[in-house]
Structure 1
């Protein structure tokens, strides 16, 4: 369905440009976008390679096991169907920690690994499990203490005080994450009738 929407938007945009006489602008935009896409992918590959390597080092050094043991009491209430010492718990904690410090690029590989681990214990492969939905909500609306990307953008744009966003952003992300968890719990009770499966 999503593919059909994209195809419809692409074709309608091209047809509109033909009737509007702006085909040159469309061609220019297509070429510029293609170049930007390549730059974006190369940047992502570099970042993913770095953080996946760091993740493998942390895993072999036993750091993920330590994070899992320390963080499990916290996430047990949020993920009641997650078994104790499951690898997903370590990836979830590492993802949330990276988001907490505003390291979105570092959080993404950990989030992908967490989802793969959660999918491995999913009884219905065609439908997201309770833990997968909860993790997606928490990851999307993660609590961020220090929004490093926004601070660096404000710094590069010459803001007088690039750090004045830190406290408001922290409060806003606490509220958004709390709302996401609340909505997740309420909607799960409505959809499943309160069952854990």
Structure 2
């Protein structure tokens, strides 16, 4: 089984990615276990930030790397919060929270009638830090932004992300259903399809 460093220490991401990629012969190892610090994410696009994180992890470990960058893009806000989704409402002391981000989004949407939005996830797989042709895939999940939160499952903007076809927010969906429909799940399926036929060089 090939070892691949996950350019994240998020246990939720590790679990989700591992469940999908083990079947493809890939063992995911979080970067923290290999002494890799978090990379800077200075860019304005998901793909550039994901590439930066994957290169950072692969360069330090010498292993293939997988990184993702994701967020909520709201039409009426010109794509914001976008790559700044996790830190949309940073407090003066530097702290951040989902509740604060959601409150800030509700305030920013006041007066807007266009409520269309999409969760977006971009995954980047690098065979090495100098890989000239990384695998880049994207998954998106279309919905709308509500003016008040609903539901207690999920995280991030899930309580405000309404799915008209289902009549529920992402925070009201059962976890099993969300993990099949989400932007990250769609990106993972695209990655698995792209990885078919790949040969991996494992390193220990």
Using the size of structure 1 for normalisation, the TM-score is 0.32
TM-score normalized by structure 2? 0.32
Which structure has more relative contact order (CA 8 Å, sep 6+)? It is 2
Between structures 1 and 2, the one with greater strand share? 2
Greater C-alpha radius of gyration: 1
